[in-house]
Structures are given as structure tokens and as C-alpha cells.
Structure 1
Amino acid sequence: MNDTLVTLVGHVATQIDYKETPNGPAARFRFAVTPRYYDRRKESWADGATSFYTVRARRTLALNLAGSVSVGEPLVVHGRLRVREDPPDGEGNRWFSADIEATAIGHDLNRGTAAFRRVVKTDTPLMATQRAAVV
């Protein structure tokens, strides 16, 4: 209820790391977000500093992500922002990282086209067992 929801527009920076876990499919990748602004002195567009985020997806979103996205593609990512503090290193430096627990991911159609293909859900053994128990 008190989550910080964010929507980011950027590019896939790394390969999708897809894994089957005991809790279902999981995927993660690094996402690069570079703001652009108009520099009035130079009278041209310029890039700001790039920020990198680790995007994590679970279940069906992870499975569809792994089959649909490649490095360099422009995406829109929506999800919960999580900021982690890593333990200090040997020199006492503190490191923070920003992760996004994605709830929705899609190609940025301002930068290209996409063809959507609906996934047909099939019965898993667990679903068939649950349905048989109800009857």
C-alpha cells in the first residue's frame, strides 16, 4: 500500500538472466535510463547522466520477458522501487543500488513497432489437481 511505484523509460543494458526457481520463473536485467534535455546555449539536445537499475520480474512476466526482449531494445518498465544498501567495502565505502520489482514491461512504441502475441495458458498438473478436487 505504501510502495513507491515508478515508471522508467530506457534501454536494456544486459542479457536477460532467466531462471526456474522453486517459486516459479524469475528474470532480471540491468536497465539504463538516460534523460535528454535541450541545451539552450548549444541550441541542441544533450544527454544527462545515465542511471542503471536492476529490474526483476517473476512468474509469467519473467517468462514472457525472456522470450521477447534483447539487449539495446527500448522499454517502458513499471514497478515497485526498492533501494538497497550493500555492506561497506574494505575501505569503508557505502554502496546503494536501486532495484525495480516489475509489474509491467513493454516495448517503447515511440522508438519502433512491436507485434503482440497473446500467450495461450495451458493446464499445469497442479491446476488439474485443484480442479479435480473441487468436482
Structure 2
Amino acid sequence: MNDTQVTLVGCVATRIDYKDTVNGPSARFRFAVTPRYFDKRAEAWTDGTTSFYTVWARRSLAVNLAGSVSVGEPLVVHGRLRVREDPPDGEGKRWISAEIDATAIGHDLNRGTAAFRRVVKTDTPLMATQKASVV
């Protein structure tokens, strides 16, 4: 209920790391977000500081992501923001990381075109058994 929902626009920075786990498919990648602003003094558009996020996708989103996205492609990512602080390492440095549990991911159509293909879901073995016993 109180999750922070964010929508980010950026580019895929690493390859998609896809795994089948006991809880279902899972995928992750690093996402680079660079704000642009108009510098009035230079009278030109300028890039700001790039922020990197780890994006996590689960279940069917993970499967579709792994089959659709490559490094360098522009995306729009929507999901829950999680900020983690790791304990200090041996040198006393603390790490803070920002992760997104994605609920939706799509190509940024301001920067290119995409061809959408709907995924046809098949019956699960349990449903197929139930249908066969009904007949």
C-alpha cells in the first residue's frame, strides 16, 4: 500500500540476467537514467549525472523481457522503488543501492519503433487434466 511507485526513462546498461528459480522465472539488469536539461548560458542541451538502478522482473514479465530487450535499448520502466543500505565493508565504505521491482517495462517509442507480439498462454497441466475429466 505504501510502496513508492516510480516511472523511469533510460537505457539498458547490462545484458539481461535471466534465471528459472523455484519461485518462477526471474530477470534483472542495470538501467541507466541520465537527465537532460537546457543550459541557458551555453545555449545547448546538457546531460546531467547518470543514475544506475537494478531492475528486477518476475514471472511472465521476466520471460518476455529476456526475449525482447538488448543492451543499449531505450526503455520505460515502472515499478516499486526499494533503496537498500549495505553495512560498511572492511574499509568502512557504506553502499546504498536503488532497485526497482518492475510491474511494467516497454520500449521508449519516442526513440524508435517496436512490433508488439501478444503471448498466447497455454493451459497448465492441471487445467488440461480437469478439462479432460469433464468431457
Instruction: Work out whether the TM-score is over 0.5.
Output: yes
Q: Name the % identity.
A: 84
Determine the structure 1 residue equivalent to 2:14.
14
CA distance in structure 2 between the partners assigned to 1:110 and 1:83 by the alignment: 29
CA distance in structure 2 between the partners assigned to 1:130 and 1:55 by the alignment: 37
SS at match of 2:67: helix
Determine the structure 2 residue equivalent to 1:90.
90
1:9-41 residue CA offsets vs partner (Å, 9 max, x unmatched): 000000000000011100000000000000011
Q: What is the 5 A alignment of 1:65-80?
A: 65-80=65-80
CA distance in structure 1 between the partners assigned to 2:134 and 2:82 by the alignment: 39
- Structure 1 pair 61–8 and aligned structure 2 pair: CA distance change class (3 A): same
CA distance in structure 2 between the partners assigned to 1:117 and 1:85 by the alignment: 39
- Structure 1 pair 26–117 and aligned structure 2 pair: CA distance change class (3 A): same
Q: CA deviation at 1:124?
A: 2.1
Determine the structure 2 residue equivalent to 1:52.
52
TM-score with structure 2 length normalisation?
0.94
CA distance in structure 2 between the partners assigned to 1:123 and 1:108 by the alignment: 32
- Structure 1 pair 85–129 and aligned structure 2 pair: CA distance change class (3 A): farther
CA distance in structure 2 between the partners assigned to 1:54 and 1:18 by the alignment: 13
Q: CA deviation at 1:114?
A: 0.4
CA distance in structure 2 between the partners assigned to 1:63 and 1:104 by the alignment: 13
- Structure 1 pair 88–37 and aligned structure 2 pair: CA distance change class (3 A): same
Unaligned runs of 5+ in 1: none
Unaligned runs of 5+ in 2: none
Determine the structure 1 residue equivalent to 2:81.
81
Q: CA deviation at 1:126?
A: 3.7
Task: Answer with 87-96 or 35-44: which moved more.
Answer: 87-96
Determine the structure 1 residue equivalent to 2:62.
62
SS at match of 2:65: helix
Determine the structure 2 residue equivalent to 1:36.
36
Q: CA deviation at 1:86?
A: 1.1
